[in-house]
């Protein structure tokens, strides 16, 4: 465990020493941002809209006390979405999509000697291959989380009003009640930390793949499971530290 952690720290250090030219890094980061961010918009949108919808319907199902106002449903959807569902569920979805892609891509490059080819050319392969992926994830995860927040709250609105469990006015009143702007900051901090964990762990697993196709598959699986565990541990740690 400690050896792996030490290797991970050395891996990250190697990435930031002897970096490539700024223009190369910029172009690579933009390319990766498209793969990580733009290509994930559809899945993040679908997941977050339905999670918002389900949250709204299930809270309405549980809130049967006539003394509790209907606007509480909107309030709870907003709080759950911003504090937990949008950053954590989005990051877990991205761990599956982006994490496996990063680990699989780097693992394939390793076993087909493409990483060795970069090294022989005198190019710092971690700086060229890994740093842009981590920077792109740090850039795109918070943006996707903001999108997820919006769509989740919208999903809750549509589910609540279309199924008739509450009025639009109650829902809007609920989502405007006792709004704390710091919760958004907290969610974005979480998104940034999760971005680093998913991209860093997945890149680490992929970069040090040895063997053949079977091991690339194992690296992808390991990247996803380790990223999800890391997200959940970090989720608890950040909640305990920052709230």
Residues that bind another protein (CB under 8 A): 18, 20-21, 24, 108, 112-114, 116-117, 119-123
Task: Compare residues 89 and 102 and give the one whose CB is closer to another protein.
Answer: 102
Task: Compare residues 18 and 176 and give the one whose CB is closer to another protein.
Answer: 18
Task: Compare residues 21 and 178 and give the one whose CB is closer to another protein.
Answer: 21
DSSP string, 207-221: HT--SSHHHHHHHHH
Nearest approach, Cβ of residue 30 and another protein (Å): 15
CA angle 149, 105, 235 (to 5 degrees): 35
* Class of residue 158 by CB neighbours under 10 A (exposed 0-12, middle 13-18, buried 19+): middle
Nearest approach, Cβ of residue 137 and another protein (Å): 19
Nearest approach, Cβ of residue 6 and another protein (Å): 18
Task: Compare residues 27 and 163 and give the one whose CB is closer to another protein.
Answer: 27
Report residue 56 as tokens: 């709204």
Cα 216 to the center of its chain, rounded Å: 22
Secondary structure of residue 176 in the 3-state scheme: coil
Q: Is residue 124 within a helix (H) or strand (E), and if so which, with residue range?
A: none
Nearest approach, Cβ of residue 201 and another protein (Å): 23
Task: Compare residues 1 and 121 and give the one whose CB is closer to another protein.
Answer: 121
Place of tokens 């030219």: 21
Nearest approach, Cβ of residue 8 and another protein (Å): 21
């Amino acid at each position: 465990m400690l050896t792996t952690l030490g290797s991970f720290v050395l891996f990250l250090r190697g990435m930031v020493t002897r970096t490539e030219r700024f223009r190369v890094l910029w172009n690579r980061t933009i390319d990766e941002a498209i793969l990580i961010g733009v290509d994930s918009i559809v899945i993040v949108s679908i997941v977050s809209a339905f999670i918002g919808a389900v949250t709204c319907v299930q809270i309405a199902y549980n809130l049967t006390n006539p003394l509790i106002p209907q606007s509480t449903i909107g309030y709870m959807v907003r709080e759950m979405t911003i504090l937990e569902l949008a950053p954590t569920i989005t990051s877990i979805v991205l761990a599956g999509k982006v994490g496996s892609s990063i680990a699989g891509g780097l693992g394939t490059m390793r076993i087909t000697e493409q990483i060795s080819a970069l090294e022989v050319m005198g190019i710092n392969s971690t700086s060229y291959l890994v740093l842009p992926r981590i920077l792109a994830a740090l850039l795109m995860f918070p943006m996707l989380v903001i999108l997820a927040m919006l769509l989740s709250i919208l999903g809750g609105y549509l589910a609540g009003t279309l199924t008739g469990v509450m009025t639009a006015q109650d829902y809007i009143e609920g989502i405007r009640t006792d709004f704390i702007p710091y919760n958004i900051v907290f969610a974005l901090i979480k998104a940034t930390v999760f971005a680093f964990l998913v991209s860093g762990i997945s890149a680490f697993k992929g970069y040090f793949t040895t063997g053949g196709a079977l091991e690339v598959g194992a690296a992808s699986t390991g990247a996803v499971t380790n990223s999800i565990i890391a997200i959940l541990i970090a989720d608890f740690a950040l909640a305990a530290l920052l709230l």
